[in-house]
Structure 1
Amino acid sequence: MMTESNSSKQGEHAAMDQLFDRLFPICRSITGPGLRQTLSILGEYLPLHVFGTPTGTQVFDWEIPKEWHIREAWLKGPDGQKVVDFTNSNLHVLNYSTPVNQKLTMEKLRPHLHTLSHLPSATPYVTSYYKPRWGFCLPYEQYKQLPEEGQYHAYVDSELVDGELNVAHAILPGESEREILISSYVCHPSLANNELSGPITAAFLYQRLAKWKKRRFTYRFVFVPETIGSITYLHRFGLELKKKLYAGLVLTCVGGKRENGETVPLSYKQSRRGDSPIDEIVQHLFHRQVLSGGVRPFTPIHGSDERQYCSPGFNLPVGQMSRFVYGTYAGYHNSLDTKEFMTITALQQTLDELEQVLLALELDGYYVNMRPYGEVKLDRHNLYPDMNSPNLWGRSSNTVVDGRTLLNQVLTVLNYADGTYTLREVAEACGSNVLDLRTVVEVLQEKGLLKGPYFERQELENHVCE
């Protein structure tokens, strides 16, 4: 018999799969109809507010480019047959290609053809956003078969027009105005792990958090074209983020499986600060083996939009979460990046693990013991545990916690709750993890013995001891 939980998970999996199939064929870029169509579809899954910034607008050191519109593109060989056709794959045309309608020899055509000799069956993804070029992309094995003699016909029906660059966000309110940012990009065409894994995971993470009965933080979900989009978003909302942001994650390449079918562990890139709350919590969960993964140091040399959020003028507490990191798998930026490689199962596992990270952030913070003079007499508050406590003070649990461990957790939490230690630090002192202390904290709060969590350190009131 299928449980409600299993049924819900299967329904979520099917919905994610359906969203992927709707988004994958769209020819996205940093501007234009494909970007807006993508945001419109995502807007069916979470309440997006879409913003437009006109062509020519200066955004810090950048300028909003013209919109790219493409209708048709193909290359015909000397025999009149199509060598590549945009209708078969939107990767076949250079992204942001200028229009062309020209007959030319292979010698003249060759500089406009893009291949990957080390991946002969793959069609590469190539862009030219800020320099006018035209071109086609095709598998190297196909390119090697093209005749040297004869006339080729190159045709791209596209235009660059004044328009706008679009970004979008959805705000999920919490008890506090302090925010957690979840950001992903929506500008690559038909790529799975390197494009759709991030926004699909973000959309369904919003749905999960919306079901929480209580949210300490406000959550800001941002969808932008990579680099220029996050810069544009910061131009509009950067000062607000500097004031409100507590932690953030950029999601990129959060799918992927090994050849044996196993999902790749998480890979976390630190924020520029290196010691922000998100850095500390993720490392804590990895160290305590709540999650499987590794940590990479921050670098501005390569990566995704964390480079913009962490630029020195903003220096926001934003890290990046991946699985198969960009540039480390064969399908990066080419047609081998498919749903079969990415897998919806990996995305759902990412959802589960990101939810754990956010739950840990919700719990973490500074707590204050309301009976700080001497040990609390636990039996007076009906808190002295039995030898075995599978039913933590009337709360169901899937694990049996022995009485001594539970007692140690209670005593340690109360002792270190002086407003100067985070719950993560207390958990480390317990030899435990933040999530293991959730029930202890909630019960102590209900008994009036514990207050928090606070975002900043708290000074204990200087009471007179009697």
Structure 2
Amino acid sequence: MSARSTFKYPYPEDLDINIDRVMTLIGDYYMLNRSAVNTDTDKLVKCLQHELNAKVYEATAGAESLSWLIPNNWHVRNGRLKTMSGEVVVDFDDNPLHLWTHSVSFSGEIDRDTLINKHVSTDKNRPCEFTYEYRNGYRSGVREWGFSIPYNIVKGMKDERYIVEIDTDLDTNNTLKVVDAFLPGKHKETIFIMAHTCHPGLVSDGLGCIAIAVEIYNWLKGRNDLKYSYRFIFGPEYFGALGWLTSAPQLDIDNLSFGIYLDMLTTDEPIGYQNSMHGDSIMDYSVKNIFTSHFPSCVSKDYRQLWGNDETFYNGPGFGIPTIGVGRAMHREYHYNTDNLENVNKHSIKESFWGLSRLIGSFEDDYIPVLKYKGPLCLSRYGLYIDPTRDPEGYQNIEHMQNYVNGSRSCMDIANKLEIDFYFVKSFFDKAHEKGLIDKLDREPMKSDRGSS
């Protein structure tokens, strides 16, 4: 059996997504200096808190948390490199990526060789672009400063000396903040969706995914009688998970059943997913089913092989919550200034929303079909017939689907057993239910859904 759909999905034109709202959120906040603990990041947090009626958990900058230290607060007043004649070479005010994350203050003259060799990052293979130098944001004891500069500018820096004007604070006078928006459902079992608030000057790596997640929140909020509960957790990369897991009530942590981490969803690359740590939860099976059915060029990777983010905490020691990643293949603009508004792909935004809504919908809409008939069904009598000469796979699948109904298997269970599309299985049994041929039983969450985690 093939995991591909037995019928072609037309790309839906009436998606419940407000693309203007997505672009406004991105445009308003992507150029802010969104380091882990920063008043600029706080502005985004305040917006999300208001839009989602969310809680905000806080952790003091510099405090110990699990085996980590919460990053220091970083405030930039000025970050400028100038020639001796006063001509500006690069300026933080033009793009926050020009200044290395957590650069400390330095004011004075410096010789060209020391500047270029110790305090400048550049890429001669991409001479018009410059990189995001983030590493010191994760190194609590490092005190450095530096500039990220396009190579086309660096190769023209012929003067013997330059002027550095960096005025910053790196202190504990702020808190790391994590947004927590909750939608209650019939069951306490909770599916949580995450993306990170940090990475200044970048779109796909964090902020664009938050904008898509907000649309998923609004879509779920508009549904009646949610089966699962949902939690949306937004915070700085790694530290958002750390902050939430050490601040949230234990009951909320215990109720987490599965996680979906979002990254790089706004690019041109093929959509895909990576498995949870053990790869055997119902979330793992479901994302494989939905994405391979809906996206012919889908990228599939094992745990942490697409990228690594907060899922490492949730999957990790002491928690063991199966958390997958949904994103796209690595893109050329990753951690460069060209991950910007100009390179946002609106089709990818819509496609990402569609894939996520179909994945989450499979949890919400799954049920256990119970046959009210015996023997092979006379398909043509009930308008359920598929011509085997035109669709032999679909015809065969319908026969096998009925044989796998046993009063305990759900539509997703049957789809995964046969490696066929969940929505094909569900569509057939929905029609059979309309004809009075089956009953529907609720598919309740089970402990075994989490696999071996």
TM interval, short-chain normalised: 0.7 to 0.9
Give the Cα separation in 1 of the matches to 2:64 and 2:447: 40
Q: 1:417 to 1:298 in 2, by over 3 A?
A: same
Residue 370 of structure 2 is matched in structure 1 by 369
Say whether 1:313 aligns with 2:298.
no
Say whether 1:342 aligns with 2:309.
no
Query: Among the aligned pairs, what percent are the same residue?
Result: 22
Per-residue CA deviation, residues 157-206 of structure 1 (Å, 9 max, x unaligned), is 43424321111110011111111111000111011111322111111111
Give the Cα separation in 2 of the matches to 1:226 and 1:281: 25
Say whether 1:437 aligns with 2:425.
yes
Give the Cα separation in 2 of the matches to 1:176 and 1:18: 34
Q: Quick one: which amino acid aligns to residue 360 of structure 1?
A: S
How much does 1:408 deviate?
Answer: 7.6
Aligned-partner SS, 1:53: strand
Residue 396 of structure 1 is matched in structure 2 by none
Aligned-partner SS, 1:288: helix
How much does 1:368 deviate?
Answer: 6.5
Q: 1:347 to 1:194 in 2, by over 3 A?
A: same
Aligned-partner SS, 1:193: coil
How much does 1:31 deviate?
Answer: 0.5
Say whether 1:171 aligns with 2:182.
yes
Residue 9 of structure 2 is matched in structure 1 by none
Residue 34 of structure 2 is matched in structure 1 by 28
How much does 1:415 deviate?
Answer: 5.3
Structure 1 alignment gaps of length 5 or more = 258-263, 390-400, 459-466
Q: Quick one: which amino acid aligns to residue 417 of structure 1?
A: N
> 74, 83, 86: which is aligned to 1:77?
83
> 125, 128, 148: which is aligned to 1:121?
128
Q: 1:210 to 1:292 in 2, by over 3 A?
A: farther
Decide whether the 8 Å contact of 1:412 with 1:429 is kept in 2.
no
Residue 57 of structure 2 is matched in structure 1 by 51
Q: 1:405 to 1:154 in 2, by over 3 A?
A: closer
Give the Cα separation in 2 of the matches to 1:99 and 1:430: 62
Q: 1:406 to 1:221 in 2, by over 3 A?
A: farther
Decide whether the 8 Å contact of 2:49 with 2:56 is kept in 1.
no
Give the Cα separation in 2 of the matches to 1:317 and 1:8: 28
Give the Cα separation in 2 of the matches to 1:65 and 1:349: 35
> 399, 423, 431: which is aligned to 2:411?
423
Q: 1:439 to 1:144 in 2, by over 3 A?
A: same
Decide whether the 8 Å contact of 1:72 with 1:158 is kept in 2.
no
Give the Cα separation in 1 of the matches to 2:246 and 2:307: 22
How much does 1:66 deviate?
Answer: 2.4
Say whether 1:16 aligns with 2:40.
no
Residue 294 of structure 1 is matched in structure 2 by 299
Say whether 1:279 aligns with 2:310.
no
How much does 1:99 deviate?
Answer: 1.4
Residue 268 of structure 1 is matched in structure 2 by 273
Per-residue CA deviation, residues 66-125 of structure 1 (Å, 9 max, x unaligned), is 211112211111221111111111111111111121222223323111212221111211
**Superposition CA RMSD, Å:** 3.2
Residue 461 of structure 1 is matched in structure 2 by none
**TM norm structure 2:** 0.84
Q: Quick one: which amino acid aligns to residue 95 of structure 1?
A: T
Structure 2 alignment gaps of length 5 or more = 1-11, 449-453
Residue 144 of structure 2 is matched in structure 1 by 133
Give the Cα separation in 2 of the matches to 1:87 and 1:319: 37
Decide whether the 8 Å contact of 1:171 with 1:221 is kept in 2.
yes
Give the Cα separation in 2 of the matches to 1:301 and 1:266: 11
